[in-house]
Amino acid sequence: MEVLVTGGAGYIGSHVCVELLNSGCEVIVVDNFANSKPEALKRVQEITGKYLKFYEADILDKLALEKIFSENNIEAVIHFAGFKAVGESIKIPILYYNNNITGTLVLCEVMKMYNVKKLVFSSSATVYGMPKRVPISEHFPLSATNPYGRTKLMIEEILQDIYASDKQWSVAILRYFNPIGAHESGRIGEDPRGIPNNLMPFITQVAMGKREKLSIFGSNYATHDGTGVRDYIHVVDIAKGHLKALEKIMKTRGIETYNLGTGVGYSVLDLVKNFEKATNKKIPYVISEPRLGDIAECYANPIKAKTILNWSAEKNIQDMCIDAWRFQVNNPEGY
Ligand code: NAD
Ligand code: WQD
């Protein structure tokens, strides 16, 4: 089966490409390297020993997408391409709305033209806004606290409307919690530009000595140690979830939403301690002001994905720390 992966050179996309190739799929990637490097795709092929077809193009470029669909027998699309930095989305919302929403519209338009109606979409736990309780199930109320989150919410609604208008579509919306870690080869992983926004890449850069200390954003939350609690999940588990979702949409029609999380919450301090234990590295930290828009606790009820997709996370927090660290050590300057 030929699968188009938009944003396949990115952090999660590259790990999904590895799993797709290992499962025998033919993989076609479209990426404009807005937030990634060609090296990631070279390494995906090196890890798997398999060939991957690649187009350097922007998903906003309709003609370029038409060319990709006309030159291949694409049966399904896994759609990662988009911008993802919450803080940046507040500063440059127009770019975020255009890239994420228009990009998805152009993609869906071209899919429809070529009668490809199987789609897996990357959504995020951010669509739960400020949840009233945890663990979070898929039917919980949705809201957004920033433009990035709003793009995900709007795209989810757009996909619902597309399916309502044409019941031939089959769509899986995957809401990831906090993906961290890297492929166990240490060849592909998260390669943030500049100062990392997210916790794990910040920790690995402190451990490398690239940054002096971690700032822990707030210690007075209503959690077991006062620091924010999240559902960290190994990126390879997330990648495997995509294969299960793909399997499902190839056999069915409809639109379904699934949480991809472990169901277990760890605080910032828990993650720091686990990282120190896994790597034997000390992480100096200071407590600073809470980050605007952050919530105390966010973790999934992952039962729907377990029941319907037969997927659940297999790797633990130590695996996540060891693998994130291996990628950082092997690639001190990123790709
Ligand atoms: P990433 O930035 O590493 O990957 C996104 C890829 O899309 C990059 O390679 C980038 O170059 C490409 N891209 C962006 N705009 C494009 C365009 N217009 N045309 C072609 N390519 C384009 O991000 P990621 O962490 O791999 O996330 C993948 C998806 O999952 C995103 O949609 C993101 O919003 C979503 N998501 C990520 C997280 C997370 O914590 N990493 C959590 C929830 C959801
Ligand atoms: C985790 C915890 C911070 C950095 C974000 C997006 C979300 C999704 C995943 C895309 C929080 C604390 C962090 C630091 C810290 N992405 N922290 N010091 O905020 O849960 O989710 O990424 O969809 O939409 O919002 O992840 O890794 O930024 O933070 O103390 O330097 O670590 O306060 O409690 P978050 P994160």
d(CA 269, CA 227): 7
pLDDT, residue 84, reads 98
**Ligand 1 contact via 11 beta carbon (within 6 Å):** yes
198 Cα–ligand 2 center, Å: 5
- The CA radius of gyration of the chain, in Å to the nearest whole number, is 19
Among protein residues, the one with the nearest Cα to ligand 1's atom 13 is 81
SS3 220: coil
pLDDT, residue 260, reads 99
197 Cα–ligand 2 center, Å: 7
35 Cα–ligand 2 center, Å: 18
Sign of the Cα pseudo-torsion (152, 155, 156, 157, in order)? positive
Whole-structure pTM over 0.95, yes or no?
yes
Alpha-carbon distances of 55 from 8, 29, 58, rounded to whole Å: 10, 6, 9
**Ligand 2 contact via 215 beta carbon (within 6 Å):** yes
CATH superfamily of 2-180+233-261: NAD(P)-binding Rossmann-like Domain (3.40.50.720)
d(CA 36, CA 13): 10
The burial of 8, by beta-carbon neighbours within 10 Å (0-12 exposed, 13-18 middle, 19 or more buried), is given as: buried
Per-residue pLDDT in tens (0 to 9) along the chain, 335 residues: 999 999 999 999 999 999 999 999 999 999 999 999 999 999 999 999 999 999 999 999 999 999 999 999 999 999 999 999 999 999 999 999 999 999 999 999 999 999 999 999 999 999 999 999 999 999 999 999 999 999 999 999 999 999 999 999 999 999 999 999 999 999 999 999 999 999 999 999 999 999 999 999 999 999 999 999 999 999 999 999 999 999 999 999 999 999 999 999 999 999 999 999 999 999 999 999 999 999 999 999 999 999 999 999 999 999 999 999 999 999 999 99
Domain regions of the chain by residue span: 2-180+233-261
Which residue out of 84, 124, 156, 191 has the highest number of ligand 1 atoms within 8 Å of its CB and is therefore the one to mutate?
84
Indicate which residue of 11, 148, 163, 266 is catalytic.
148
Among protein residues, the one with the nearest Cα to ligand 2's atom 31 is 199
Among 87, 133, 135, 149, which residue's Cα sits nearest to residue 291?
A: 87
148 is catalytic: yes
SS3 196: coil
Alpha-carbon distances of 198 from 82, 96, 203, 315, rounded to whole Å: 17, 18, 9, 20
Q: Which segments within 183-302 are labelled E, that is strand?
A: 214-217, 229-230, 232-234, 254-260, 266-267, 285-288, 297-298
**Ligand 1 contact via 34 beta carbon (within 6 Å):** yes
In sequence order, what are the beta bridge partners of 174? 122, 258
d(CA 185, CA 225): 34
**Ligand 1 contact via 179 beta carbon (within 6 Å):** yes
Query: Phi and psi of 189, rounded to 5°?
Result: -175, -165
Atom of ligand 2 nearest to the CA of 227: 34
Which residue out of 6, 16, 35 has the highest number of ligand 1 atoms within 8 Å of its CB and is therefore the one to mutate?
35
Atom of ligand 2 nearest to the CA of 197: 28
Q: Which segments within 136-260 are labelled E, that is strand?
A: 170-176, 178-180, 214-217, 229-230, 232-234, 254-260
